[in-house]
Amino acid sequence: MIDFDEIGPEKILEVYHPKSGMRGFVVIDSLALGPGKGGIRMTPSVSIEEVSRLARAMTWKCSLAGLPFGGAKSGIIADDKTISKKEKKELIEEFSKALRIVCPSQYIAAPDMNIAEQEMEWFAKANGNKKSCTGKPKKMGGLPHELGSTGFGIYHAALVALKYKKMNVKDITVAIEGFGNVGWFAAKYLSEHGAKLVAVSDSSGVVYNKKGLNFKELAKVKKLKGKLAEYKDGAIIPSRDIIGLDVDVLITAAIPDLILSSDVDNIKAKIIVEGSNIPMTHETEELLAEKGVLIIPDFVANAGGVISSYAEYKGFSEKKMFKIVEEKITKNTSLVLKNNKGCVRCSALKIARERVRKVCKVCKL
């Protein structure tokens, strides 16, 4: 069930291509600040409801980051692990062609789950407009998400949170749920700057060693073997068990709805940085806040990707992109914590809503 309110969603498109079997949809949540910005998610279970929630998160993310974009998101129902590269290319191309009516005037695509720079190249070419998406390969003038802008931003959000809690990055333990693009770079930057990485997960399980993990070896194992369970210097425990480990900082960087209200009593982390989108409900966040857990919400912490998209859209260099990501993430995380009155998400939402309200001419928020 999709929730509609004064903000949106403004437009929902469902598309189907009988020959290829492509089934997909786009939710354009708000155009108040500019064309809707948000990635394409490809999973067998992706739904309009899930995409709608993500599109709303993008509305707040773009607003809080001070970008001239509205919020949007899209999904293609397909199993990336069972289709061929040729089949995937056809799905992306047919999806892109169907969206010519809204790209890039009302929707600008980007990578999300199982979508990367190669898919963005296919999308842009099929759409006939380079401005229809970001995250394209460098050869097309893109700043691909493979550069690690989201993980870089999460690292800076974590630094601000640590400072707020009067903790030093060199004295903390960290667990990272997910070792894809987001988790990989968050782990890299935190470990390089002195944090002790004790647990990292992927679909094969959690590698855990309270004495610390070697990031370079983890990255090597993941690249060569394809799964972290092949890493030898640590215990392998079930994937979900990562959320209950005794660590200072837990970073979520993969699946939505990871932490449930029933998990609250098992959470031991002092800080949770939401690198993934919608890793828990607002109600669960409030329960954790009552326990004294500081949570940096998804649309604050993981905005590095959309900030990078903005830099690509404007034609900025890679160096300038990283500078903008650091500045905006640090500034906005500090701002919401400064205005925090027990609910960080409430503080962030208030700021984001006020920015949308200033330019929204037809709705009363």
Tens-place pLDDT, residues 261-281: 999 999 999 999 999 988 999
CB 170 within 8 A of CB 197: no
Catalytic residue among 11, 37, 61, 73: 73
Asked about 73 being catalytic, the answer comes back as: yes
Domain-embedded: residue 15: yes
Distances 122 to 51, 250, 309 between C-alpha atoms, Å: 22, 35, 17
Neighbours of 174 (CB within 10 A): 27
Compute the mean pLDDT over every residue in the chain, rounded to the nearest whole number. 93
CB 197 within 8 A of CB 190: yes
Q: Mean pLDDT over residues 37-55, rounded?
A: 94
Question: How much is the pLDDT for 4?
Answer: 84
Question: What are the pLDDT digits (tens) for 106-118?
Answer: 999 999 889 999 9
**Residue range of the domain that includes 24:** 11-58+70-142
Domain-embedded: residue 253: yes
Question: How much is the pLDDT for 361?
Answer: 53
Domain-embedded: residue 100: yes
pTM, 2 dp: 0.87
Residue 88 belongs to domain with CATH number? 3.40.50.10860
Question: How much is the pLDDT for 365?
Answer: 44
Last residue of a domain, one of 89, 108, 142: 142
Domain-embedded: residue 25: yes
Q: In terms of C-beta density within 10 A (0-12 exposed, 13-18 middle, 19 or more buried), how is residue 92 classed?
A: buried
Q: Are residues 217 and 338 in the same domain?
A: yes
- CA–CA distance, 188 with 214 (Å, rounded to integer): 10
Question: What are the pLDDT digits (tens) for 303-354?
Answer: 999 999 999 999 999 999 999 999 999 999 999 999 888 889 999 999 998 8
Q: Are residues 191 and 100 in the same domain?
A: no
More confident residue, 226 or 249: 249
Phi and psi at 286, nearest 5°, equal -65, -40
Residue 215 belongs to domain with CATH number? 3.40.50.720
- CA–CA distance, 23 with 19 (Å, rounded to integer): 11
User: Which residue type occupies 323?
Assistant: K
> pLDDT class for 253, splitting at 50, 70, 90?
very high
List CB contacts of 82: < 8 A, sequence separation 6 or more. Answer: none
CB 61 within 8 A of CB 325: no
> pLDDT class for 355, splitting at 50, 70, 90?
confident
Q: Are residues 188 and 229 in the same domain?
A: yes
